[in-house]
Amino acid sequence: MAQAKTLNPEDLEKVLSFINTQRHVVRNRAMMLLTHWAGLRIGEVAALRWMDVVMPSGQIKDEIRLLSRMTKNQTARTVYVSQRLKEELKRYSNQARCIERTYPFFASQKSTLKGFSGNSLAQTFAQIYKGAGIEGASSHSGRRTFLTSLANKGTAIHILKTLAGHQSITTTAAYLYSSPAQLRAAVELA
């Protein structure tokens, strides 16, 4: 099976521009950016509850604690939230309004109580990527883009491994994409 496409900044801008033309703009931006700017898996985004993301005071948390039941490998981990992601999440939380802190953070059109399943959210992302004209992208593209972007900025692989919640650096390495331009530049260093 082919790996999900890694998006460049222009691709992500196309995706966000497309989202801006659709219904549920603020919610869909926040969900998409959790994958691109924090590296969450689609199932982890779907599993978030209000109490995971927002403090009782209404402020967005600096760190989101994913419980073991929320992660793919059943291992709890901490997700660090950047300032720009906090702003997107705050915009969404202000619009959505918390009814009950145990409810899903992202309500689906069908259910405020149940929210999205990982599968239904993956389908939503597929529709968004297709509508934006990004071929080869999937619900895993944001996570892969997040890790590749950090690696390209010099982030050590052991830090990437921790941010991704991987058990092995080998798993993390499989996420990273090297463009032909990067490979050409690397050989010029020799």
Percent of the chain predicted with pLDDT > 90: 62
d(C-alpha 103, C-alpha 51), whole Å: 8
Percent of the chain predicted with pLDDT > 70: 95
Assess whether pLDDT exceeds 60 at residue 105: yes
| Cβ count near 153 (within 10 Å) | 7
Residue ranges covered by each domain of the chain: 9-142
Question: According to the model, what pLDDT value does residue 56 have?
Answer: 94
Torsion of CA 79, 138, 125, 116, to 10 degrees: -60
Question: According to the model, what pLDDT value does residue 186 have?
Answer: 75
**DSSP output for 55-82:** -TTSPBPSEEEE-GGGSTTS--EEEE--
* pLDDT, tens digit, 9 for 90 and up, residues 25-71: 999 999 999 999 999 999 999 999 999 999 999 999 999 999 989 98
Question: According to the model, what pLDDT value does residue 57 have?
Answer: 94
Read off the DSSP letter of residue 54: B
Closest CA to 79 of 157, 171, 146, 8: 146
**What value does the mean pLDDT take over residues 170-187?**
76
Question: According to the model, what pLDDT value does residue 151 have?
Answer: 86
Average pLDDT of the residues of the chain = 90
d(C-alpha 58, C-alpha 117), whole Å: 25
Higher pLDDT pick, 131 / 113: 131
The structure tokens 């490998």 sit at 73
- The third-level CATH classification (topology) of the domain covering 9-142 is hpI Integrase; Chain A (1.10.443)
Assess whether pLDDT exceeds 80 at residue 183: no
For 164, the token pair is 């991704």
d(C-alpha 36, C-alpha 128), whole Å: 14
Question: According to the model, what pLDDT value does residue 93 have?
Answer: 96
| Cβ count near 19 (within 10 Å) | 22
Closest CA to 81 of 42, 38, 41, 40: 38
> Where does residue 137 rank: exposed (0-12), middle (13-18), buried (19+ CB within 10 A)?
buried
